[in-house]
Amino acid sequence: MPRILPMPAMQWNAWGSAEAATELSPGIRGLLSAALGIEGDPTPGVASEAVAIPDSRLDDAALGELAAIVGPQAVSRERDDRLLRAGGRSTPDLLRRRMSHQMVPDAVIAPADDDEVAAVLRWAESAGVAVVPLGGGTGVVGGTDPQAGPHHAVLSLDLGRFDALIHLDEISGIATFGAGVGGPRAEELLGAHGLSLGHFPQSFEFATIGGFAATRSSGQASAGYGRFDDMVVGLTVVTPRGILRLGDVARSAAGPDLRQLMLGSEGVLGVITSVSVRVHRAPTTSIGAAWRFPDFATGAAALRALAQRGAGLGPTVLRLSDEMETGVNLASPGAIGEATGGGCLAVTRFDGDEAACLARAELTAATLAAAGGQSLGAGPADAWEHGRFRAPYLRDALLAVGAGCETLETATTWSALMDLRTAVTDALLTALQESGSRALVLCHISHTYPTGASLYFTVVYALGDDPVTQWAHAKAAACEAIVAQHATISHHHAIGMDHRPWLHAEIGAVGVQILRTLKATLDPAAVLNPGKLIP
Domain boundary assignment for the chain = 46-158, 165-281, 285-387
Domain at 285-387: CATH code: 3.30.70.3450
> What mean pLDDT value characterizes the chain?
95
How many other CB atoms sit within 10 Å of the CB of residue 282?
A: 16
* Res 513: pLDDT: 98
* Mean local confidence (pLDDT), 474-485: 98
* Res 225: pLDDT: 95
Whether residue 331 has pLDDT greater than 90 = no
Share of residues in the chain with pLDDT > 70 (%): 97
Task: Please name every residue paired with 178 in a beta bridge, in sequence order, or none if there are none.
Answer: 274
* Res 187: pLDDT: 98
Whether residue 179 has pLDDT greater than 90 = yes
Evaluate whether 46-158 and 165-281 have a shared fold. Answer: no
How many other CB atoms sit within 10 Å of the CB of residue 254?
A: 7
* 203: enclosing H helix or E strand: none
Tell me 213's DSSP state.
H
Helices (H) then strands (E): counts for the chain = 18, 18
* Mean local confidence (pLDDT), 206-231: 97
Whether residue 311 has pLDDT greater than 70 = no
Task: Judge contact between 374 and 384, C-beta under 8 A.
Answer: no
Those residues whose C-beta lies under 8 Å from the C-beta of residue 25, and which sit 6 or more positions away, are: 331, 332, 333
Whether residue 336 has pLDDT greater than 90 = no
How many other CB atoms sit within 10 Å of the CB of residue 257?
A: 14
* Mean local confidence (pLDDT), 25-35: 92
Quick one: CATH architecture of 46-158? 2-Layer Sandwich (3.30)
Those residues whose C-beta lies under 8 Å from the C-beta of residue 344, and which sit 6 or more positions away, are: 292, 293, 294, 295, 296, 298, 299, 320, 321, 322, 323, 326
pLDDT bucket at 79, cuts 50 / 70 / 90 = very high
Q: What are the φ and ψ backbone dihedral angles of 386, each rounded to 5 degrees?
A: -70, -35
Whether residue 310 has pLDDT greater than 80 = no
Whether residue 83 has pLDDT greater than 90 = yes
Helix (H, G, I), strand (E, B) or coil at 430: helix
* Res 325: pLDDT: 94
In our burial notation (b when 16+ CB lie closer than 10 A, e otherwise), range 466-505 reads ebeebbebbbebbbbbbbebebbbbbbbbbbbbbbebbee
* Mean local confidence (pLDDT), 267-274: 98
pLDDT bucket at 462, cuts 50 / 70 / 90 = very high
* 441: enclosing H helix or E strand: strand 439-448
pLDDT bucket at 251, cuts 50 / 70 / 90 = confident
Domain at 165-281: CATH code: 3.30.465.10
The 10s digit of each residue's pLDDT in 103-159 is 999 999 999 999 999 999 999 999 999 999 999 999 999 999 999 999 999 999 999
The one-letter code for the residue type at 218 is S
Omega of the bond leading into 115 within 30 degrees of 0 (cis) = no
Task: Judge contact between 357 and 285, C-beta under 8 A.
Answer: yes
